[in-house]
Amino acid sequence: MVNHSLQYKENLTESSPSAAPDSVETQDFSTHLDLSRITVPKKIAHLKAGYTLCSNGEILILQDGVTALQIRNRTLVPQHLQWNRGLIRDICWSSLRHVFIFLCQKRVYSFDPTNPESETNKFQDILPYEEKDSFWKCSCIQSSLYICYSGYATSVEEYDLSSSTPTLKKRWISPKSCLATEGIWAIQCHQDQIGLTIMDVTTKEWRIEVRNMKLKKLWDLKIPITTGDCELTLLPNNDWLVINSCGNRLFQISDRKMKVAVQYERELKNAVMFADKFFIVRTKNTIEIH
């Protein structure tokens, strides 16, 4: 594993994507991303507190504070929308329904990016299994929506979105989901696999675990962090990216091995690929576009 440090001067003024310094080499991210070659952002803008960040390739969306959404298309010009349904814990894209799915503590909503001013729809039939439970993270693939609950001994549910009314298809509880002393922090579906970041409360150790669609483990890898949490996203060429949220490290995993670790300048919250040519990083107070 190669370690790199990514540092740059403090500059929080909004700038044009084409206004990057001449020394910055533009990467083609369509098939490959090398974190060790990421340098200064081409664009930086202030954000309020939060960690949501999602892209369907054409639209980038996040919650900006508690009462606003921010949407960007390939022009990267932000559009701001009011949001009055509280904190969004996670966002994922449903290619089947062509909507973004917003996961809140007790409710799930759909958002149509082609008509952003329209009313957000609530999935009336997707509710926590018990009243005391709360949703945490989500991911979609084909007709399936996977939802993780908050807390240790994390439960995972699979919903079928193929009909007009979503139905609960499967529910995994501890120890099949994870051990009683473990918690699932992030979930990402990719092709026929599900990636999870898991923390063991007894050892304080983190790992990425990749499973099949029935949650059978295929492989895992320890993530060397001592503080913060671990978000998860996909990179080109089937690589995984672990984001040390509330920390400052990015871990690129390729072929089940740690390929490169990068130390970022600011406190991280999340990161995602966008439009095959942008690498988007959300920090504690900014959105940074590489």
| pLDDT one-digit tens code per residue, 228-287 | 999 999 999 999 999 999 999 999 999 999 999 999 999 999 999 999 899 999 999 999
Structure-token pair, residue 151: 């807390």
Regarding whether 208 and 131 lie in a shared domain, the answer is yes
Give the structural domain span for 9: 1-50+233-290
Residue 116: pLDDT band (50, 70, 90) is confident
* Span 54-62, average pLDDT: 97
Contact call for residues 123 and 161 (beta carbons, < 8 A): no
Total domains in the chain come to 2
Residue 171 in any domain: the answer is: yes
Residue 60 in any domain: the answer is: no
Torsion of CA 75, 32, 193, 200, to 10 degrees: -90
Contact call for residues 241 and 234 (beta carbons, < 8 A): yes
The pair phi, psi for residue 56, each rounded to 5°, is -105, 15
CATH of the domain at 215: 2.130.10.10
Q: Residue 126 is inside which H or E element, if any? A: none
DSSP assignment of 166-205 equals -EEEEEE-TTTSS-TTEEEEEEEEETTEEEEEEEETTTTE
Residue 73 in any domain: the answer is: no
Residue 65 in any domain: the answer is: no
pTM equals: 0.90
Burial class (CB in 10 A: 0-12, 13-18, 19+), 13: exposed
Contact call for residues 202 and 181 (beta carbons, < 8 A): yes
Q: Residue 29 is inside which H or E element, if any? A: none
CA distance 180 to 117: 43
Regarding whether 241 and 219 lie in a shared domain, the answer is no
Per the prediction, the chain carries an average pLDDT of 90
Q: Report helix, strand or coil for 35.
A: helix
Strand order in 249-254's β-sheet?
Answer: 2-5, 257-263, 249-254, 240-245, 229-234
Q: Hey, what amino acid is at 42? A: K
pLDDT greater than 50 at residue 25:
no
Residue 137 in any domain: the answer is: yes
Residue 36 in any domain: the answer is: yes
Regarding whether 193 and 136 lie in a shared domain, the answer is yes
Q: Report helix, strand or coil for 43.
A: strand
Regarding whether 251 and 201 lie in a shared domain, the answer is no
Regarding whether 174 and 247 lie in a shared domain, the answer is no
How far does CA 137 lie from the centroid of its chain?
Answer: 9
Q: Which of 184, 203, 223 is the last residue of a domain?
A: 223
Structure-token pair, residue 156: 């995972």
Output the pLDDT for position 16.
35
Regarding whether 200 and 248 lie in a shared domain, the answer is no
CA distance 9 to 17: 17
The pair phi, psi for residue 25, each rounded to 5°, is -90, 125
Residue 56 in any domain: the answer is: no
Regarding whether 275 and 173 lie in a shared domain, the answer is no
Regarding whether 154 and 173 lie in a shared domain, the answer is yes
Residue 190 in any domain: the answer is: yes
Regarding whether 239 and 187 lie in a shared domain, the answer is no
In 3D, which of 235, 226, 247 has the Cα closest to residue 272? 235
Q: Which of 223, 244, 271 is the last residue of a domain?
A: 223
Structure-token pair, residue 222: 């320890």
Residue 17: pLDDT band (50, 70, 90) is very low
Regarding whether 286 and 266 lie in a shared domain, the answer is yes
Burial class (CB in 10 A: 0-12, 13-18, 19+), 136: buried
Regarding whether 96 and 29 lie in a shared domain, the answer is no
With tokens 């002393």, the residue in question is 181
pLDDT tens digits, one per residue of 127-146:
999 999 999 999 999 999 99
CA distance 120 to 148: 22
Query: 69 has which bridge partners?
Result: 63, 81
Q: Hey, what amino acid is at 249? A: R
Regarding whether 170 and 193 lie in a shared domain, the answer is yes
